[in-house]
Amino acid sequence: MMCWSRVAVRGLRAAWNTPVTAVPRGAMGLRCKAGLQPPSVVNAVKSAAVPHTTHASTSGSATAAALKSKRGRITKPRSGAYLLLGRYQVDRLLKIKQSNAVKAAKKAAEAEAKEAVAAAEADAAHRLRNSLTLRFSNENSYLNWARNGVLSSAVGVAMYAQEHHRGAQLSGAGLLLLGFGYIGVGTAKYIYYIFRFRHIMELSWASVFGTISHAAWGLAIWLTAIASFLESVPLELDAMLLTEPIASYLPFRIRQGLIETYSLHLEDLEHHYDEQERVMRAIRGDRGDIQEGEELPPQLEAQLIEQQLHTSPGPAVVGSVPPSS
């Protein structure tokens, strides 16, 4: 009995002195996670809680503990090499998890970078398409206005040419004014939209000034051609352009042409009335107002000769009036 009691006490001391980390991994597994202890540790704690009063009283309990331990086969603590191997596996698993997390983060960052680059390219393409669309629509509008102005001006110039530059006709003047309106309005809209939507069109200041000068030179060339045609002199020789606004230059020239046309028409009517009055005076034989040496028109001279032949057989009437004595 004494031998068995000593063996039991030694077994209990070994179980009591065994650390928790030395407990088999299988026994520690799920119970430690659930907050429970392994059975060997529980038995050791229960046995240690009983006080050792006398040698006789402890002999029975030692025998029972020995039998229980013999039945339960208390496991021996694992060696340090096995513990080191477990820690190495844990560290390896942690490193693998960390490397997988780093790889996943890198892949996510690369995917986000690719998406950002694609979004930036799509945004740049969208902005470029909008700028080109607005730029081409503005140029197309300007060309439409200029084409209508050139057509109206061409018809107006053709109507002017029928009169051999003898002033302006009302139809030609109206068409020239219409052409001036088309070209002027188109140029003004073109320049305004360039200034207004310069950022959307993505134009630099050099491009802005280049397009404005292009439109301004087109208008200046058209004004030069029309003014030169109306005045039959080059525009640079006309000093009135320096004192008049360029917008009112062409209307002033057309108004001046209309006034000249009306003046020429009045002069033609006056000359025609004078000739008709002289013919009537000569037919009536009133020669008092005819000056000396004044030649009569051929038709009037023939009519006077024929009239004198029928009235009197005297000498023929000469074309000029004889001097009075």
> Closest by alpha carbon to 168, among 180, 176, 160, 178?
160
Buried (b) or exposed (e) across 125-141, using 16+ Cβ within 10 A?
A: eeeeeebeeebeebbee
Low-confidence ranges of the chain (pLDDT < 70): 1-86, 163-170, 231-250, 253-254, 257, 282-325
Asked whether residue 313 is assigned to any structural domain, the reply reads yes
Number of structural domains found in the chain = 2
Same domain, 70 and 168: no
Backbone angles phi, psi at 317, to 5 degrees: -85, 130
Residue at 296: amino acid letter: L
Report the alpha-carbon distance of residue 243 to residue 223 in Å, rounded.
16
Same domain, 154 and 247: yes
Q: Is 204 helix (H, G, I), strand (E, B) or coil?
A: coil
Asked whether residue 124 is assigned to any structural domain, the reply reads no
> Closest by alpha carbon to 283, among 316, 312, 305, 315?
305
Q: Where does a domain end: 78, 97, 119?
A: 78
Q: What's the pLDDT tens digit per position in 90-111? A: 788 888 888 888 888 998 999 8
Q: What's the pLDDT tens digit per position in 52-62? A: 444 444 455 55
Report the alpha-carbon distance of residue 60 to residue 48 in Å, rounded.
15
Q: Give the per-residue SS3 of 46-101.
A: HHHHCCCCCHHHHHHHHHHHHHHHHHHCCCCCCCHHHHHHHHHHHHHHHHHHHHHH
Which domain, by its residues, includes 299?
A: 131-318
Same domain, 174 and 277: yes
Reported pTM: 0.41
